[in-house]
Amino acid sequence: MVLPLGDYQRTRIIPFVTYAIIAINIAVFLVQEDRGEQFTLAYAATPWEITHNEDIDGPVSIPQRIRVQDPRGRRVRVIEQDVKIEHVPSPIPVRWTILTAMFLHGGWMHLIGNMLYLWIVGDNVEEVLGRFRYILVYLACGLMASIAQIVANPDSVIPTLGASGAIAGLMGAYVVWFPQNQIRVLVFRFIADLPAFIVIGGWIVLQIWSGAGSLQAAGESGGVAYLAHVGGALTGIFVGFLFYQRAQYIRSLDFATGWQVYPEDR
């Protein structure tokens, strides 16, 4: 298990937008906890609903492949059985759920994991982009993440939710700008410092690998939306190259004076 704990890349700003996004996600999750599964399902994004622009207002049964082990544990066989997917009517046009789903989470661990990554990389990305562009990029990465998942399986009736795609985009931009930046990580029981291109770059490669595998089983099960992560990360990488020179300029500024510092002055 590799868990990031923080980075060493200082910023010259107070990342108000990052704090606000974290606060919004936590507030929405508390509402989810209070109102229950019906609220979450109403605002989650379902590919079939978005591609057909039609709201599913009741449970849907779909065939799903399940691995079953025989009583002696010697063989594993795959069987197909119907699984009921719950749906409730959405109070908003269904295509707007592609945005509302970005602020929903499936549980405390899902929320904490996403907010931890956002806490680590968000301030640096916000400093480079500025507050307004940062908001646009965050939403764009989340949107492209959802689109990637929908394009892969447009007829899926499994609801999707989470800020993972948007945060994957911020991580993609971060690793383009700060590949050598050291990130503290918890590796099993040990704390180590590893460069961002290993921690974040390795995570992105893993998502691409897992996403390629999930294409073969699209729609068979729920779980992690790897293709959404890939879509968000690739969007963030594009943004990273688009604003690369700006990132390098900001990185060259001296923290104490705000003046640009050249390598020979360090």
**210 catalytically annotated:** no
CATH number at residue 26: 1.20.1540.10
Average pLDDT of the residues in 59-69 = 72
What is the percent of the chain with per-residue pLDDT over 90, rounded to a whole number? 43
Q: Domain of 250?
A: 2-55+90-256
Residue 207 scores a pLDDT above 80:
no
Residue 51 scores a pLDDT above 90:
yes
Residues 215/228, Cβ–Cβ less than 8 Å: no
Is 202 within a domain?
Answer: yes
Residue 19 scores a pLDDT above 90:
yes
76 against 223, higher pLDDT: 76
Is 229 within a domain?
Answer: yes
Is 79 within a domain?
Answer: no
Q: Which of 21-30, 113-122, 186-195 has the lowest mean pLDDT?
A: 186-195
Is 147 within a domain?
Answer: yes
**252 catalytically annotated:** no
Instruction: Tell me the per-residue pLDDT of 146-200, one tens digit each, with 9 for 90 and over.
Output: 998 898 889 888 888 888 899 999 999 999 999 988 888 887 778 888 888 888 8
Average pLDDT of the residues in 215-238 = 70
Separation between Cα atoms, residue 118 and residue 39, nearest integer Å = 24
| Per-residue pLDDT, 222 | 46
| Per-residue pLDDT, 169 | 94
Is 80 within a domain?
Answer: no
Q: What is the mean pLDDT of the chain?
A: 83
Is 262 within a domain?
Answer: no
Q: Which of 78-87, 121-130, 215-224, 228-237 has the lowest mean pLDDT?
A: 215-224
- What's the structural domain count of the chain? 1
The whole model's pTM is what?
0.84
Is 75 within a domain?
Answer: no
201 CA to centre of own chain: 14
| C-beta contacts of 96-99 below 8 A and 24+ residues apart | 97/43, 97/44, 97/45, 97/46, 97/49, 97/50, 98/45, 98/50, 98/143, 98/146, 98/147, 98/150, 99/139, 99/142, 99/143
254 against 55, higher pLDDT: 55
265 against 40, higher pLDDT: 40
Is 159 within a domain?
Answer: yes
Q: Identify the active-site residue in 164, 210, 214, 221.
A: 164
Task: Rank 183-192, 210-219, 236-245 by mean pLDDT and report only the highest.
Answer: 236-245
Residue 40 scores a pLDDT above 70:
yes
